[in-house]
Amino acid sequence: MKTLSVLIAVLSCSILLNAQPPQAFKYQAVVRDVAGEVISNQSVDIRISIHNETPGGTIIYQETFSGTTNQFGLISLNIGLGTPVIGTFGSINWSADSKFIKVEIYNSAGGGYVALGTSELFSVPYALYSDRSADGFWELNNSDIYYNSGSVAIGSTYPIAKLHVDGGSGAGIYGFSSNSYGIVGKSWADNYPGVQGEALSANSYGIYSQNQYGGTAFRSWSDGGLAGHFEGDVYMEDNLGVGTSSPSYPLHVKSSHDDWLVGIHNQSWSYSANGLVTRSEGGDPFLAQSSYGDLLIVKNNGRVGIGTSTPDAVLHVDDHIRVGEDPSYSTVYGELFHYGGGTGFKINAHAGGGSWADMHLQTNGSTKVFIESNGQVGIGTDSPYNRLQVVASGSENGFQSYSPSGTAVYGLSGSSYGVFGQSTSYYAGYFSGPVHVTGNLSKGSGSFVIDHPLDPENKLLRHNFVESPENLLIYRGKAELDEKGEAMVELSDYFKALTKEDEASIHLTPVGRPFLTGAEWNSDFSAIIIYGETNRAVFWEVLADRDDPVIHELGRPVEEEKGGKNTLCEKGKLLYPEAYGYPESAGRDYDEMIKMKEQINRNTTK
C-alpha cells in the first residue's frame, strides 16, 4: 500500500435553533501519498481519538471508520457515528477542559495505525453542549416559567425537595410582603407540613419568628384540627399561658370548663414515657391542693405525702390503705401491709390452702402479665414455660427493644443458643440493616434477593451463592497489552498476607478474537505479568486460598462428626430431616417447635 498522508479540510457541526443537537459532527479530509498525489477512489481505514486536556491526555472516546475516497481523494466522516472502541460519544463533557482530536490511518504494510496528527478542537463541536443547556429545562406560561420534571436546587447540587435553597452563611429564603403574607405553605397530604424547617446545628433554628413592634411573634389558628403540633423538645424562655393571654407563671393554665385543667396521657401501654416530670431547685417540685387543703405533696428531699404536707418517710400516707379481695375472683387476694412490725410493704396473691399463688396483672378483663410462684414470667400468656415468655396476638410484635446508643438485644449462653429464633411458616430471623458475624456462619443454602431490575414492582430476582469446600478468594480485572504485547498487574498490598500466594492460579481470556496468552508471577508474588498480542486486551482472574490468622482460628473442616464438641447438631438428629426422608420428629429443633405450637394453641383457644 502507498504511504498515506491526510490533509484536514473541513470540520463542521450544524445546530438548529430550538432543535435537538445531533450527537455527531462532520469531518472531511483529502488523502494524499508522500509525493502529494491525491489517492482517489480507494478504500481507507481511519481511527479517530478524542483526548482530554492535552494532545497526549486520556482518550475519552475512540472510534474507527472504513470508507472510500472520491475522485478528488476526499473522504467525509461523521465523528460520533463510527464504530466505538473506547467510551461513548454522548458521554463526552464538552463543557469541561480542552479537547484534542487525533487522526490515524491504517497501514496494511506495517500492520497497524499510523498517526497523522493531533489538533485542538475549538468552538465547532462544543455546540453539542447546547443539548445540556439549563435553558432547555424551563417552560413558559405567559410571563411565568415553570419546571415540572424534577427538583430545583439553588446553592446545592443535590436537591431534597421540589425547591431546595442552600443560603450558606446567609438566609436561604427571605419572604417579605407589605400587605400580605411573607411566606405561605400549604399541604393537602396527611402528616406533611406546608412549611418545614430543620435546624442542622446546636444553635440554629428551623423556623424563627421575631416580634419587634409589640405584636405577636408567632400565631397559629385552627378551625377544627390542631393549631400546633410539635415533635421534639420545646423551649419557652418566658411564661406560657393556656386559656390566658397574661400568664403569671412559667406555665399558667386557666379554664372555666367543668373538667380537668391539665390532662397527661400516655397513648399506649407499649410506651414507657413518664406522664409528668417536675423539678424545683429550691421549693417543692409538686403540690396538689383543693378546698380541703393539701392533698398530695412531693418534697424537694424526695419524700411524698398523701393527706399530709410534712411527710416523715419516703411515702407517708396520713390515712388507711387497703387492698381487698378481687371481686371477680374469690380465691385471689391482694394484700398491702403497712410499715411497721418488721413486715414492711408486701403485695401478693394468695389462693388459699397455705401455698403461694401466682400473680396476675390484668387490664381490660384479662391477664397481661403473669408471674408464676416458681418465678417464671409470662406476658400475653398465663402458662409460661420459660423464665420470660412473651406471646403476641395477631400481627403485633411479641417483643421490641430499643437503645439509642447501646445494644438493644443481647443474648448470652454458656452452652446453648445466645439467641434462638423459630417460625412455623415465615422467617425465623429478619434483619433490616447490616449484619456482622465475628464467628462462623453456617447455613443450608444462600442467596441474595433484590427487586427485579426490569420489573421492581412485581418481581424479585434471586441469585444463589457460589459454594465450595475451599476458602477461595477471587481477584479479576482487565489488562491492556503494550506494544511488546505485555502488561503487568500489581495486586493489592494485602494479597500476600491474606492468601497462599504461591499456590494461586491465573486464568486469562483474550478480548475479541482469540490469540495466545500466558502469564507468570513476579519474584515476590505481588504482581502478574501477562503476555499476548501487541495492543490487545486480556481479562485476567486470580484464584487463591485464604491464609490469614482469622481463617486459621475460625476455619471448620469440610466433614465433621455430629455430637461431642460439635454443638451444631447432636448424633441421631438431622438439620433437614424431611429432605432425607426422615420424619419431622428427627429434626434438631423438633422439641422446641412442639412447645411453641402448644403455646400458640393454648392462647388461641382462650
Instruction: Name residue 139's beta-bridge partners.
Output: 146
Query: How far out from the chain centre does Cα 185 lie?
Result: 30
For 185-225, the pLDDT digits (tens) are: 666 666 666 666 776 676 667 677 666 665 565 666 666 66
Contact between residue 335 and residue 343 where contact means Cβ atoms under 8 Å apart: no
Q: Retrieve residue 110's grid coordinates.
A: 506495517
Domains of the chain: 4-132 (2.60.40.10), 472-554 (2.40.30)
CA-derived radius of gyration, the chain = 40
Asked whether the predicted pLDDT for residue 49 surpasses 70, the reply is: yes
Q: What share of the chain is helix, strand, coil (3-state, %, to 5)?
A: 10, 30, 60
Helices (H) and strands (E) in the chain, counts: 3, 32
Please choose, from the candidates 44, 45, 123, 48, the residue with its C-alpha nearest in 3D space to the C-alpha of residue 79. Answer: 48
Query: How far out from the chain centre does Cα 9 lie?
Result: 56
**Cα(424)–Cα(599) distance, integer angstroms:** 13
What pLDDT score does 393 carry? 76
What pLDDT score does 319 carry? 78
User: In 122-213, at which residue ranges do the beta strands (DSSP E only) sit?
Assistant: 139-141, 144-146, 152-154, 163-165
Neighbouring CB atoms inside 10 A of 147's CB total 12
DSSP code, position 338: P
Q: Is 544 exposed, middle or buried (0-12, 13-18, 19+ CB in 10 A)?
A: buried
What pLDDT score does 344 carry? 38
Contact between residue 240 and residue 250 where contact means Cβ atoms under 8 Å apart: yes
Among the ranges given (277-291, 389-403, 425-439), the one the predictor scored with the smallest mean pLDDT: 277-291
What pLDDT score does 2 carry? 45
Query: 529 pLDDT band (50/70/90 cuts)?
Result: very high
- Determine if the pTM surpasses 0.85: no
Give percent of the chain above pLDDT 90: 19
**Cα(75)–Cα(32) distance, integer angstroms:** 11
Q: What is the three-class DSSP state of 449?
A: strand
C-alpha separations of 482 from 68, 115, 421, 531, 536 in Å:
30, 17, 58, 10, 8
**Cα(599)–Cα(129) distance, integer angstroms:** 70
Q: Residue 606: CA atoms inside 13 Å, Cβ hemisphere, count?
A: 13
* Average pLDDT value for residue range 328-343: 48
What pLDDT score does 269 carry? 62
Q: Retrieve residue 314's grid coordinates.
A: 419516703
Q: Residue 591: CA atoms inside 13 Å, Cβ hemisphere, count?
A: 3
Summary mean pLDDT of the chain: 77
Among the ranges given (46-55, 178-187, 365-374, 587-596), the one the predictor scored with the smallest mean pLDDT: 178-187
DSSP code, position 90: G
**Cα(201)–Cα(212) distance, integer angstroms:** 25
Q: Which residue has better confidence, 595 or 331?
A: 595
Contact between residue 51 and residue 63 where contact means Cβ atoms under 8 Å apart: no
Instruction: Write down how long the chain is.
Output: 606
Q: Retrieve residue 102's grid coordinates.
A: 487525533
For 228-249, the pLDDT digits (tens) are: 777 777 777 778 878 787 787 7
